[in-house]
């Protein structure tokens, strides 16, 4: 028996696997039993109802996708009245993801959706498709600090700000979030990118830029998660290009407490249950009885000292 | 609220069954028994591991794929589709799945069929499938055609207007409609007579088939409109359906409004998840018939079949 | 006949294709005739002789590579005495690439290598493998400004600072470089990334982090190049994941004046000559007589106005 | 300065020839005539488009690949290698090329051969090659073995000490040495007798072949050292070569120092470009024999064959 249980701060999860916001919905419940997940993370909502950006919204590369969706939202009332009750039928903790245009609205929305059934709130300060050129609160340590602070004063639920890989100073943003009282970090959201159809001369998503996600981004996303793990003392939830147990293990070895699966859910909607099974098999094969033993277990290469051959 | 969004209580009984995902595809081809513990056989959507019976060219551009399929796949109805994990091609591989309308379902024979145009990386991969290969088809997905009820004693008369691969989407509707007692008239449009597909399959199903082609210069909108009026005059059309072509959409919107009958259209859009999660597949629709205000709807989940009057041209 | 000539500031090139620094060396001259290139860019050198970081130095993904090399250098004397004379036998202009530990050293080295035969100097302020955690001068607009300024006062050759994709504020860095007198920008260097071998628990390159390069990075690199093109008025040379004419055309359509080919040279050392041939074929097929007609020719999608259906 | 780095004047004459790169690989398989205008037939390194003659398993782990190859490839000498664009596998594809030592060159028959262990994505792709398929092999690359000159009237005696796939690298050296008049003794080490490769090929070439195996417990360092001493006593070894194994390296370093003879070793390292550009393939070497100071050298360009005494164990 392998013990897959992990804790993300005060939140206990049956296993470290959950969907990434926006890549999972009620429809998935028609494909597999959601009770096998570590947690359920819903698509980012805003207080108001939003349509999102014009299509085409998706382009595809050999091992990655470019999505430009722009946070369409059915609004917070729909979320409370329909979405929360739907997921309350399942045992994994429900994590809401929210976005807003101002620091105050982040606080207000956090307060509003702190209803029974919601177990933590992700602060999506990092959507690359909202503002021009992918700027977001999460690009700025100070703005991130303010958002988290506002949410922390508005709710008693754990607050998990989601980092953007487009910030050069992601470690500073992570530290600011921690200082503001963040309970965990989700690292990271999609990478701002673009592609052009050379036959039509047009951008491949109407919004010109979108978020690059999927397997090809994993080495970048792992690096950022590792940098955050090194910098902060709160739990880090790894996200980016994870589609198999081996992918998830890279993030766990780098020190992440849990992982989120995004684009791989589109490649196969049963990616997460299979990943969980394969984690068990990996642990059995390596004689590991608790998945927590893997967390942060990365080992360095032996150093080579060119000055002294005798060391070799 | 869309029907599909309504809460579905998870069922208690759980059956371990094979439903390997695309990552395990190659292994599945050999093993067939790959599975995951959270599979629940009673759920309506599955990654159906199908076995290829045949995959033949029916003309220089289109192939006809016949599969043996597990039970979940056999519940598909006209207008629904599968999201198919295309096998890799020679030096390329599609990362995402590809949506394909169900072309024919024969539950008794445990058989489903697709008709597809070979064009890009995904369909080129599909074209390589040989008998006994396996294929992972997620589905059935989406909202199919909704044949309206007719008054007792009256016969429904369903018009199918399709061009090119649109046929694939409409063909099973003919079968369903005829089984329900309706009369079906199918107008098939194509570049040339050799590219007209499924005329025989439709005739066998009992549909009246009218063919128009660019080559014979019988396929322009004016002539098609005249043809529809003749069909309607002979026996009143009670439900009109189409797909794909912008030109045909406008004509049919106008005619169904004039005739005062409902109509539906099957639409396409590039997709990510195909289960309503990613919102990649939206198109603008009138909020309601006649409205000037538009809203985005998901082709995969709210459609792919939509009300004709709520659809906007593109 | 298609005219492939482009100008990068005052420098006229026979075609817009050149190697990316560090992915090309004397050995390539044993595979094809270097005279067909638009320019020749050499590996970054430092004034002193350096060994670089320990092996393993390379890991591979489906469509990208992770290299951690760390600027080994034979030093500036070797460059002047051996490298420059070697490339003077070929007609394409030679672009030297330099790196240094301080602003002053950047200036000194620029002065030293401004020898006959060198036609422009790339300022590699962006190597992700030099300092801890991939910090580099190029992460900071002010430091970049100083480096370019120092080089401009030290040499009369064109100075091309090379941007780092790891800076969140790459546009600010680009503007700072322009203000300091940069003659063109090279956009961009490799993306900081990492990978872990889950069987050995060790990082897949000894240095833990390295530069992610190759096809999979192209949508990110294109976005950054486009952002720079939008922001500056000096020429931008696109770089990142380019391996075919179609890839190069994306960068040209986005407004780049020329392109650099890196990792694709490893996949096939004849990538560049084939790319140049395929550019000609593309132009012929599209009835384009001058490649410069493509530069910046990106067209936007028609807008969708949800408020007014009649517009559609 | 390494010889390979010395300036080579570009030659004036230019011949258009086929040298499709990996991106065009699939097309090349069909076309064979893909080319680029800057190809110069007189240059020493090319993307050789070879045609598979055979690709057979010689034991459960190794395959033997025989190719028809163009002129440039036929100039390869022992110790050199090719950087091979491996064909894609079932659901995977190697992005970079894979280095493979030349196992045999027969210029008269326009033939080159490789011996390789099937292990990861690249070699699994190679294993799929069938007769008449084409393969893009960049090369010949690197610095081969340098047989030292012997005094007139004396016979050179070359020792080959190899384990496992090391054989592939050493085998052509036996042929070259014997052609140059040397005597060759090859000590082959393997896990079991069934995994010993090339003993026949070496014997046919005229080498004395001694086999040691783990199964028979004859392959430990102590016994190998004793064997080498016996060989040396019978006829003085003038040049000793090895590859691959750390254990064998130390033994041979000690013995050649004691015998006062030169030695070389073929090494491996993960590669990027294989033409000296990327510096990915470095290993630490003593700056000179006996030095305590190390420097990184490129296995692809400064090697893969290096002086035995400058090599450090790993
Ligand atoms: C609900 C639905 C049902 C469909 N049914 C059929 C059918 O029965 N037979 C048939 O031949 N085709 C059908 N199509 C179209 C089919 O999905 C596309 O032809 C296919 O995706 C093209 O993939 P490709 O890789 O070969 O082409 P590529 O052009 O290489 O595809 C590139 C990208 O564009 C997307 N794409 C290209 N064309 C379309 C399209 N028309 N619709 C959606 N995405 C597209 C692909 O999914 C992919 O992401 C249907 C589409 C939808 C949405
Ligand atoms: C100069 C040289 C000559 C060689 N000659 C032969 C030969 O004749 N026969 C033979 O069987 N093998 C030979 N090898 C080793 C061969 O290159 C590797 O077995 C092969 O690269 C493994 O690739 P893979 O994709 O199957 O394995 P994977 O393990 O999937 O490869 C993963 C990565 O590691 C690299 N890699 C793995 N093992 C090695 C290795 N030993 N050396 C270099 N890179 C490695 C691969 O290139 C790739 O980048 C030689 C290596 C070198 C450097
Ligand atoms: C279609 C799509 C929609 C997304 N929507 C959201 C969202 O609403 N909120 C959010 O925080 N992240 C969103 N993301 C980002 C993912 O949650 C995740 O951070 C990102 O995709 C990287 O993970 P992946 O590579 O596993 O996909 C979205 C991603 C995709 C592909
Ligand atoms: C092995 C290797 C070495 C590199 N060395 C340098 C270097 O010395 N100086 C530099 O400016 N960029 C260097 N780069 C970065 C490339 O020049 C280029 O910016 C990057 O690889 C992105 O382009 P690509 O995706 O086409 O490879 C190196 C890249 C690789 C892969
Ligand atoms: S494809 Fe994802 S919502 Fe329709
Ligand atoms: S592999 Fe590039 S220098 Fe050796």
| Residue D4: pLDDT band with limits 50, 70, 90 | very low
Domain termination residue (choose one: B141, B165, B193):
B141
B182: left (phi over 0), alpha (psi -120 to 50) or beta: beta
Choose the closest CB to C312 out of B295, B296, B312. Answer: B312
The CA distance from B312 to B269, in Å, is 14
A263-267, B202-206, D8-12: lowest mean pLDDT where? Answer: D8-12
Dump pLDDT digits (tens) for D168-222: 888 899 999 999 999 999 999 988 888 787 888 889 889 999 999 998 888 899 9
Domain total for chain D?
Answer: 2
Q: Give yes or no: residues D228 and D189 share one domain.
A: yes
What mean pLDDT comes out for the span A46-65?
94
- Please give the pLDDT value at position B150: 85
The CA distance from C36 to C41, in Å, is 14
Q: Say whether C289 sits in a helix, a strand or coil.
A: coil
Q: Which residue has the higher pLDDT, D39 or D290?
A: D290
Is residue A138 a contact partner of residue A167, using CB atoms and an 8 Å limit?
Answer: yes
- Rounded to 5 degrees, φ, ψ at D45 are -120, 135
Q: Quick one: which ligand is closest to A60's CA?
A: 1
- Rounded to 5 degrees, φ, ψ at A210 are -150, -170
- Please give the pLDDT value at position D89: 83
Q: Give yes or no: residues B117 and B182 share one domain.
A: no
Instruction: Verify whether residue A127 is a known catalytic residue.
Output: yes
- Rounded to 5 degrees, φ, ψ at C75 are 90, 165
Is residue B264 a contact partner of residue B306, using CB atoms and an 8 Å limit?
Answer: yes
The CA distance from A39 to A24, in Å, is 12
Q: Say whether B193 sits in a helix, a strand or coil.
A: helix
- C1 pLDDT above the threshold of 80: yes
How far is Cα of residue D164 from the mean position of the Cα atoms in its chain?
13
Mutate which of B34, B277, B293, B302 to test chain A, going by most A C-beta atoms within 10 A? B277
| Residue A129: pLDDT band with limits 50, 70, 90 | low
Q: Give yes or no: residues B125 and B163 share one domain.
A: no
The CA distance from C241 to C220, in Å, is 9
Q: What is the CATH number of the domain that holds D184?
A: 3.40.50.80
Q: Quick one: which ligand is closest to D125's CA?
A: 2
Q: Give yes or no: residues D171 and D100 share one domain.
A: no
How far apart, in Å, are the Cα atoms of C24 and each of A202, B127, C44, D273? 32, 40, 11, 9
| Residue D11: pLDDT band with limits 50, 70, 90 | very low
The rounded percent of chain D whose pLDDT value lies above 70 is: 88
How far apart, in Å, are the Cα atoms of A218 and each of A165, A246, C55, C64, C212? 11, 12, 22, 11, 10
Is residue C83 a contact partner of residue C27, using CB atoms and an 8 Å limit?
Answer: no
Residue B167 covered by a domain: yes
> Could you give the angle at the alpha carbon of B294 between the alpha carbons of B290 and B298, nearest 5°?
115
How far is Cα of residue D1 from the mean position of the Cα atoms in its chain?
23
Q: Which residue has the higher pLDDT, A308 or C175?
A: C175
- Please give the pLDDT value at position D290: 83
Domain termination residue (choose one: D261, D278, D308):
D261
Is residue B265 a contact partner of residue B313, using CB atoms and an 8 Å limit?
Answer: no
What is the number of CB-based contacts under 8 A between chain A and chain D?
24
Residue B99 covered by a domain: yes
Residue D132 covered by a domain: yes
A52-66, C124-138, D34-48: lowest mean pLDDT where? Answer: C124-138
A126-135, A277-286, D24-33, D116-125: lowest mean pLDDT where? Answer: D24-33
Instruction: Tell me which chain D residues have a C-beta less than 8 angstroms from the C-beta of B121.
Output: none
- C192 pLDDT above the threshold of 90: yes
Report the C-alpha dihedral over residues C205, D22, B123, A191, rounded to 10 degrees. 30
Residue B306 covered by a domain: no
Q: What is the CATH number of the domain that holds B93?
A: 2.40.30.10
Residue B270 has which token pair?
A: 């590039």
Mutate which of A52, A54, A59, A168 to test chain C, going by most C C-beta atoms within 10 A? A168
Buried b / exposed e along B51-76 (16+ C-beta atoms within 10 A)? bbeebeeeeeebbbbbbbbbebbbeb
- B279 pLDDT above the threshold of 60: yes
Enumerate residues 6+ apart whose C-beta is below 8 A from D267: D243, D283, D299, D303, D304, D305, D306, D311
| Residue A309: pLDDT band with limits 50, 70, 90 | very low
- B24 pLDDT above the threshold of 60: no
Dump pLDDT digits (tens) for B218-267: 889 999 999 999 999 999 999 999 997 788 899 999 999 999 999 999 99
Chain A contact for B29 (CB, 8 A cutoff): no
D276: left (phi over 0), alpha (psi -120 to 50) or beta: left
Chain D contact for B1 (CB, 8 A cutoff): no
- C261 pLDDT above the threshold of 80: yes
- CA torsion through residues C269, C273, C274, C276, sign: positive
Nearest to B32 by CA among B45, B22, B52, B18: B18
- Please give the pLDDT value at position D164: 77
The CA distance from B93 to B122, in Å, is 7
- Please give the pLDDT value at position D2: 40
How far apart, in Å, are the Cα atoms of D40 and each of A53, C31, D213, D264, D296? 52, 8, 48, 33, 32
Q: Give yes or no: residues D240 and D182 share one domain.
A: yes
- B29 pLDDT above the threshold of 50: no
The CA distance from C186 to C184, in Å, is 7
Q: Give yes or no: residues D190 and D126 share one domain.
A: no
Nearest to C259 by CA among C270, C269, C268, C272: C272
Q: Give yes or no: residues B21 and B76 share one domain.
A: yes
- Within 60-99 of B, beta carbons closer than 8 Å to D belong to 88, 90-91, 93
| Residue D14: pLDDT band with limits 50, 70, 90 | very low
What mean pLDDT comes out for the span C272-301?
97
The CA distance from A265 to A261, in Å, is 7
Enumerate residues 6+ apart whose C-beta is below 8 A from C108: C47, C100, C154
- Please give the pLDDT value at position B91: 79
- Please give the pLDDT value at position B35: 58
- A131 pLDDT above the threshold of 90: no
Domain termination residue (choose one: B124, B141, B158):
B141
Enumerate residues 6+ apart whose C-beta is below 8 A from D234: none
- Within 122-151 of B, beta carbons closer than 8 Å to A belong to 136, 138
Ligand 3 centroid to Cα of residue C262, in Å, is 30
Dump pLDDT digits (tens) for C219-251: 999 999 999 999 999 999 999 999 999 999 999
Q: Give yes or no: residues D213 and D251 share one domain.
A: yes
What is chain B's Cα-based Rg? 20
Q: Give yes or no: residues B32 and B102 share one domain.
A: yes
Residue B293 covered by a domain: no
Q: Say whether B271 sits in a helix, a strand or coil.
A: coil
Is residue D184 a contact partner of residue D237, using CB atoms and an 8 Å limit?
Answer: no
Residue D282 covered by a domain: no
DSSP structure class, residue C165: T
- A102 pLDDT above the threshold of 50: yes
Chain B contact for D26 (CB, 8 A cutoff): yes
What mean pLDDT is reported for chain D?
Answer: 86
The chains in contact with chain D, meaning 3 or more Cβ pairs closer than 8 Å, are: A, B, C
What mean pLDDT comes out for the span B277-288?
95
- Our separate counts of H helices and E strands in chain D read 6, 15
Query: Read out DSSP for C6-44?
Result: EEETTEEESSSEEEPTTS--GGGGGTS-GGGSS-EEPPP
Neighbouring C-beta atoms of residue B153, cutoff 10 Å: 5
Nearest to D102 by CA among D82, D129, D87: D82
Q: Give yes or no: residues B114 and B163 share one domain.
A: no
Residue D310 covered by a domain: no
Query: Read out DSSP for D95-151?
Result: SS-EEEE--EEEGGGTEEEEEEE--SHHHHHHHT--TT-EEEEEEEESB---PPP--
B256-264: list long-range contacts, CB under 8 Å, 24+ apart.
B256/B308, B256/B309, B257/B309, B259/B232, B261/B237, B262/B148, B262/B307, B262/B308, B263/B239, B263/B307, B263/B308, B263/B309, B264/B79, B264/B145, B264/B146, B264/B239, B264/B240, B264/B305, B264/B306, B264/B307, B264/B308
Model-level pTM greater than 0.90? yes
Neighbouring C-beta atoms of residue C241, cutoff 10 Å: 27
Neighbouring C-beta atoms of residue C28, cutoff 10 Å: 22
What's the gap in Å between the CA of A79 and the closest CA on chain B? 12
Q: Given the structure tokens 């979405």, which residue do they identify?
A: A83
Dump pLDDT digits (tens) for A15-33: 999 999 999 999 999 999 9
- Please give the pLDDT value at position D7: 39
- Our separate counts of H helices and E strands in chain C read 9, 16
Extended strands (E) in chain A: 6-8, 11-13, 17-19, 40-41, 58-60, 65-67, 94-98, 118-124, 159-162, 185-187, 191-194, 196-197, 202-203, 209-213, 236-239, 258-261
Is residue D231 a contact partner of residue D261, using CB atoms and an 8 Å limit?
Answer: no
Catalytic pick among A127, A228, A256, A283: A127
- Please give the pLDDT value at position D78: 96
- B41 pLDDT above the threshold of 90: no
Going across the sheet that includes C65-67, the strands are C58-60, C65-67, C209-213, C191-194
- D119 pLDDT above the threshold of 50: yes
A273-287, C40-54, C115-129, C298-312: lowest mean pLDDT where? Answer: C298-312
> Could you give the angle at the alpha carbon of C156 between the alpha carbons of C150 and C157, nearest 5°?
95
Residue B131: which domain range? 12-141
The CA distance from C195 to B104, in Å, is 46
CB contact under 8 A, D275 and C269: yes
- C129 pLDDT above the threshold of 80: no
CB contact under 8 A, C270 and D5: no
- B84 pLDDT above the threshold of 70: yes
Dump pLDDT digits (tens) for A194-227: 999 999 999 999 999 999 999 999 999 999 999 9
Is residue C253 a contact partner of residue C229, using CB atoms and an 8 Å limit?
Answer: no
Q: Give yes or no: residues B240 and B125 share one domain.
A: no
Binding-site members of A for FMN are: 21, 43-44, 124, 162, 214, 240-241, 262-263
- C93 pLDDT above the threshold of 60: yes
Q: Give yes or no: residues D165 and D88 share one domain.
A: no
Chain A contact for B161 (CB, 8 A cutoff): no
Ligand 5 centroid to Cα of residue B270, in Å, is 9
Residue D35 covered by a domain: yes
Catalytic pick among C127, C239, C256, C283: C127
> Could you give the angle at the alpha carbon of B192 between the alpha carbons of B188 and B196, nearest 5°?
40
Q: Which residue has the higher pLDDT, B89 or A177?
A: A177
- Please give the pLDDT value at position D20: 35
Enumerate residues 6+ apart whose C-beta is below 8 A from A191: A128, A165, A166, A211, A212, A213, A217, A220, A221, C220
Mutual angle of helices A245-253 and A271-285, in 10-degree steps: 60
What mean pLDDT comes out for the span A281-304?
96
What mean pLDDT comes out for the span B260-283?
96
Q: Is C214 annotated as a binding residue?
A: yes
């Amino acid at each position: 028996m392998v013990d897959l249980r992990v804790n993300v701060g005060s939140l206990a999860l049956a296993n470290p696997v959950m969907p990434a916001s926006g890549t999972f919905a009620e429809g998935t419940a028609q494909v597999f039993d959601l009770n096998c997940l570590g947690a359920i993370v819903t698509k980012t909502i805003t207080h108001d109802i939003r349509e999102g950006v014009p299509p085409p919204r998706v382009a595809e590369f050999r091992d990655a996708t470019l999505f430009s969706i722009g946070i369409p939202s059915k609004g917070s009332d729909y979320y409370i009245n329909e979405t929360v009750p739907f997921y309350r039928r399942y045992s994994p903790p429900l994590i809401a993801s929210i976005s807003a245009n101002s620091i105050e609205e982040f606080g207000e929305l956090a307060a509003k959706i702190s209803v029974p059934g919601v177990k933590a709130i992700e602060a999506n300060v990092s959507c690359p498709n909202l503002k021009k050129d992918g700027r977001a609160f999460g690009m700025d340590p100070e703005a991130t600090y303010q958002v988290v602070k506002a949410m922390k004063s508005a709710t008693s639920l754990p607050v998990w700000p989601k980092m953007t890989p487009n910030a050069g100073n992601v470690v500073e943003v992570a530290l600011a979030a921690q200082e503001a009282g963040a309970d965990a970090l989700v690292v990271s959201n999609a990478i701002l990118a673009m592609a052009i159809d050379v036959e039509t001369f047009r951008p491949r998503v109407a919004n010109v830029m979108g978020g690059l996600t999927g397997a090809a981004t994993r080495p970048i996303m792992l690096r950022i998660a590792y940098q955050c793990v090194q910098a902060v003392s709160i739990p880090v939830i790894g996200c980016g290009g994870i589609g198999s147990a081996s992918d998830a293990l890279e993030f766990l070895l780098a020190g992440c407490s849990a992982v989120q699966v995004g684009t791989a859910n589109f490649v196969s909607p049963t990616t997460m249950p299979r990943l969980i099974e394969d984690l068990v098999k990996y642990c059995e094969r390596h004689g590991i009885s608790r998945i927590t033993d893997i967390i942060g277990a990365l080992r360095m290469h032996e150093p080579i000292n060119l000055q002294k051959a005798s060391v070799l | 609220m869309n029907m599909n969004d309504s809460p579905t209580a998870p069922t208690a009984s759980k059956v371990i069954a094979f439903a390997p995902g695309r990552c395990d595809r190659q292994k599945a081809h050999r093993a067939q028994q790959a599975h995951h513990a959270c599979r629940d056989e009673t759920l309506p959507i599955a990654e159906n591991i199908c076995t290829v019976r045949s995959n033949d060219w029916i003309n220089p551009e289109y192939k006809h794929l016949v599969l043996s399929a597990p039970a979940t796949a056999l519940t598909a109805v006209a207008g629904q589709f599968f999201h198919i994990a295309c096998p890799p091609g020679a030096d390329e591989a599609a990362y995402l799945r590809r949506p394909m309308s169900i072309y024919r379902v024969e539950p008794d024979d445990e058989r489903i069929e697709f008709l597809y145009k070979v064009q890009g990386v995904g369909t080129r991969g599909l074209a390589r499938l040989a008998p006994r290969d396996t294929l992972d088809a997620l589905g059935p997905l989406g909202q199919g055609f909704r044949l309206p009820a007719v008054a007792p004693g009256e016969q429904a008369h369903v018009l199918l207007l399709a061009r090119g691969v649109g046929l694939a989407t409409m063909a099973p509707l003919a079968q369903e409609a005829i089984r329900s007692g309706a009369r079906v008239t199918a107008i098939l449009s194509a570049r040339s007579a050799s590219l007209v597909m499924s005329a025989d399959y439709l005739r066998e199903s009992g549909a009246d088939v009218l063919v128009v082609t660019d080559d014979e210069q019988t396929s322009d909108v004016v002539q098609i409109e005249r043809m529809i009026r003749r069909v309607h005059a002979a026996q009143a059309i009670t439900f009109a359906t189409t797909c794909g072509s912008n030109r045909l959409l406008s004509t049919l919107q106008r005619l169904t409004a004039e005739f005062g009958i409902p109509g539906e259209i099957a639409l396409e859009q590039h997709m990510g998840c195909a289960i309503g999660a990613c919102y990649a597949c939206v198109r603008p629709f009138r909020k309601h018939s006649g409205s000037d205000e538009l809203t985005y709807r998901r082709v995969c989940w709210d459609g792919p079949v939509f009300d004709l009057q709520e659809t906007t041209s593109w």
